[in-house]
Amino acid sequence: MKSGNNAEEIRNTGSADLNENEQKRCIKLLTIIGEIEGHEAVSGNTKATKYEHLLPMLAEIEDSQEVDGVLILLNTLGGDVEAGLSIAEMIASLSKPTVSLVLGGSHSIGGPLAVAAKYSFIVPSGTMIIHPVRSNGIFIGTEQSLRNMIRTQDRITRFLSEHSKISRQRIEELMLNPTELVKDVGTLLEGRDAVKEGLIDEVGGMSDALHKLHEMIDQYHDKKCEIM
């Protein structure tokens, strides 16, 4: 029955409970893949992460006495900025140990999502793209719209710098780099480069991420015992 529920959860939300480990801990696995869907639904042929699924799940994780930690797997090209930032803020506000692992890529608004965890990994072939905020459609008030985009960009830059080891100045340099991307400004960072820049904590894979998460859970429980 438990296995059937887990399979249904994976199919419906891309999440799962990892509880077959030696330590008998419950780790919540979350996946952020495809496009980050905001207030408008994406094309039916596009894989998407829906923030209305993730936000209640994150609240449930924080409130649960059973969940010991969270592992987040990312492979996203970005998407809705407001939705992405809201998910990132929720992840960052969790009191429980959290570890992220960038697999294929974590581009655009995927950057804040990757660094929102308390510790982050990226596989050697993984990539992250940092670029300025873009917008589609008609601008009614150009000057006002530009100011709004700049403020949104500042929010992203501030979040990245506050949740990683990279400075705001360096983020802006990478965002406005005209030599990396074809027909665009920005920078593509491969695994080791993302770590070297201080954006991601460590290069590693699934075993590294799980090992680190168990280590963080031990420290988390030790602190709780000290307080008690």
Amino acid at 28: K
Q: Which of 121, 146, 117 is nearest to 133 (CA)?
A: 146
User: Distance between CA atoms of 74 and 34, rounded to whole angstroms?
Assistant: 9
Tell me the per-residue pLDDT of 4-35, one tens digit each, with 9 for 90 and over. 555 565 556 667 888 877 777 889 999 999 98
* Alpha carbon of residue 197 to chain centroid: 17
Task: Give the pLDDT confidence score for residue 60 in this predicted structure.
Answer: 94
As annotated, the active-site residues are: 108, 131
Give the pLDDT band of residue 39 (cuts 50, 70, 90): confident
Beta bridge partners of 75: 33
Q: Is the pLDDT of residue 49 over 90?
A: no
pTM: 0.86
Q: Is the pLDDT of residue 48 over 50?
A: yes
Name the H helices within 94-205.
Answer: 110-115, 142-162, 168-175, 191-196
Q: Which of 202, 192, 148, 152 is nearest to 175 (CA)?
A: 152
Task: Give the pLDDT confidence score for residue 137 in this predicted structure.
Answer: 47
User: Distance between CA atoms of 228 and 223, rounded to whole angstroms?
Assistant: 9
Q: Which of 35, 49, 135 is nearest to 90 (CA)?
A: 49
* Alpha carbon of residue 213 to chain centroid: 16
Tell me the per-residue pLDDT of 106-156, one tens digit each, with 9 for 90 and over. 999 999 999 999 999 999 999 999 988 865 544 444 666 667 778 889 999
Lowest pLDDT segment from 4-13, 94-103, 115-124, 208-217: 4-13
Q: Is the pLDDT of residue 192 over 90?
A: yes
Task: Give the pLDDT confidence score for residue 108 in this predicted structure.
Answer: 92
